[in-house]
Amino acid sequence: MTRHVKVLILGSGPAGYTAAIYAARANLHPLVIAGDVPGGQLTTTTDVENWPGTVPAVLGGVLMEEFDRHARTFGAEVVQDVIVSVDFGRRPFVLTGEFGAVYRADTVILCTGATARSIGLPSEAAFRGRGVSGCATCDGFFYKDQECCVIGGGNTAVEEALFLSNIASRVHLVHRRDRFRAEPALLDRLHARVAEGRVALHLSREMDEVLGDDRGVTAVRLRRADGPPETLPVSGVFVAIGHDPNTALFVPALAHRDGYLQTGLADPAYPMMTNVPGVFAAGDVQDSLYRQAVTSAGSGCMAALDARRFLELTAAAVAAE
Ligand code: FAD
Ligand code: NAP
């Protein structure tokens, strides 16, 4: 099967669906490739409390069903496929799905998201969404006045610990080495919270088990080189050991920094365009900093508007030749 579309969108998270809504309303008949996680990361969580306009909280899966319905209402087409190869050296661009479908596209919007790294413990996976989280901004409020721990020693872990220290009764920051890699300004703020008793540091320790029951997490077990294991009673565990953007298919063909696609460098007139004219990126795949549903949706909108303008100007240039 071969299809030719004006706008091909990879990914069905907040960025992909928002791009689809804008492209569909511009009469560009976008095609969304849903990928292996239809609905994206939010389908892996329960309550989303910071999506504007939804009080009380909306379930992540329900919110993404609404995104899907919204995009289809305006004529976007969504197909269940995973792109396994891309050729951005030809025009139209050529992308191939996992069962051999070939998609030719005048523009492509990459919204393939990022994946939070996990430590890889079976108990971590078993309690994910029931006490184990990868996002304090998203889930921290559920642990108001309770004890939590954060795993990691980089900027994200320290930021998560600082954020949680305003919500939780106490935050335990667990790091496998004896020093943090987070930047000094963040560490100054961290040590101030330690002095106030809001944060406790547990260095040279690795979490080797998440403990809990039917109601969720009750503690973590920490392994250390210089003594017997420790048990830390907590109700929330925030794993903050980094994210991997889903860009293996696109690098090195597309410019990136630490794997995140870079946009707006080749042509400042198109803030969401990669270094290949006509290929745009939005959401967590190009944003290592904010990684929120609302920011992803916002950049999906921007990418679709950029793509529309790109198509208009390209068509005008061809007509003028
Ligand atoms: P994603 O949601 O990651 O979607 C990526 C999409 O790309 C998926 O549909 C996937 O199938 C597709 N894809 C990947 N590879 C391919 C391929 N090769 N071909 C085709 N498709 C592909 N944010 C908030 O604002 N509030 C919250 O409460 C919140 N809670 C969260 C809870 C958890 C547990 C997690 C993990 C994240 C949470 N986030 C929250 C963050 C939020 O989910 C992300 O910022 C947001 O989903 C990013 O949207 P995105 O569209 O960029 O990518
Ligand atoms: P990171 O810098 O790669 O740090 C990951 C941390 O997790 C490291 O301390 C690492 O330990 C630890 N870790 C990795 N694998 C582990 C495992 N299996 N078990 C236990 N611990 C493990 O990731 P990040 O903190 O998410 O930051 C990613 C990038 O975003 C960085 O460039 C960062 O500067 C940037 N960022 C910036 C800001 C900001 O500027 N405010 C905020 C957030 C992120 P080791 O130290 O032993 O390697």
pLDDT digits (tens, 9 = 90+) for 96-125: 999 999 999 999 999 999 988 999 999 999
Is residue 201 over pLDDT 80?
yes
Q: Under a CB-based contact definition with an 8 Å cutoff, are residues 147 and 174 in contact?
A: no
pTM value is 0.84
Q: Which amino acid is at 143?
A: Y
CA distance 299 to 271: 9
Locate the ligand 2 atom nearest the alpha carbon of residue 157 and give its number.
25
Q: Is 245 in the pocket of ligand 1 (CB under 6 A)?
A: no
CA of residue 156 to ligand 2 center, whole Å: 6
Please give the pLDDT value at position 167.
Answer: 97
Cα angle 8, 311, 269; round to 5: 105
Is residue 321 over pLDDT 80?
no
- Among 198-212, 269-283, 304-318, which is the least confidently predicted range? 304-318
Q: Is 14 in the pocket of ligand 1 (CB under 6 A)?
A: yes
With a Cβ cut-off of 6 Å, ligand 2 is lined by: 119, 151-157, 159, 176-177, 181, 206, 241-242, 288
The candidate with the shortest Cα–Cα distance to 307, out of 9, 3, 4, is 9
Q: Which ligand is nearest to the CA of 156?
A: 2
Tokens of 104: 């030719």
Please give the pLDDT value at position 266.
Answer: 86
β-sheet bridge partners, residue 108: 8, 279
Is residue 259 over pLDDT 80?
yes
Mean pLDDT across the stretch 266-280? 95
Please give the pLDDT value at position 24.
Answer: 98
Please give the pLDDT value at position 242.
Answer: 87
Please give the pLDDT value at position 158.
Answer: 95
CA of residue 82 to ligand 1 center, whole Å: 15
Percent composition of the chain: helix, strand, coil (DSSP 3-state, to 5): 30, 30, 40
Q: Is 218 in the pocket of ligand 1 (CB under 6 A)?
A: no
Please give the pLDDT value at position 316.
Answer: 77
Across the chain, what does the average pLDDT equal?
95
Is residue 130 over pLDDT 90?
yes
Q: Which of 156, 158, 179, 222 to mutate to test the pocket of ligand 2 (most atoms within 8 A of CB)?
A: 156
Percent of the chain with pLDDT over 90: 88
pLDDT digits (tens, 9 = 90+) for 2-52: 999 999 999 999 999 999 999 999 999 999 999 999 999 898 777 888 999
CA of residue 308 to ligand 2 center, whole Å: 37
Q: Is 111 in the pocket of ligand 1 (CB under 6 A)?
A: yes
Q: Got the DSSP string for 56-69?
A: S-EEHHHHHHHHHH
Where does residue 198 fall: left (phi above 0), alpha (psi -120 to 50 degrees), or beta otherwise?
A: alpha
Where does residue 152 fall: left (phi above 0), alpha (psi -120 to 50 degrees), or beta otherwise?
A: left
Please give the pLDDT value at position 82.
Answer: 98
CA of residue 242 to ligand 2 center, whole Å: 5
Q: Under a CB-based contact definition with an 8 Å cutoff, are residues 282 and 15 in contact?
A: yes
Q: Which of 58, 135, 250 to mutate to test the pocket of ligand 1 (most atoms within 8 A of CB)?
A: 135
- DSSP letter at 284? G
Locate the ligand 1 atom nearest the alpha carbon of residue 294 and give its number.
25
Q: Is 86 in the pocket of ligand 1 (CB under 6 A)?
A: no
Tokens of 215: 């109601």
pLDDT digits (tens, 9 = 90+) for 43-97: 877 788 899 999 989 999 999 999 999 999 999 999 999 999 999 999 999 999 9
Active site residues: 135, 138-139
Q: Which ligand is nearest to the CA of 116?
A: 1
Mean pLDDT across the stretch 147-173? 96
* Residue of minimum CA distance from atom 53 in ligand 1: 113
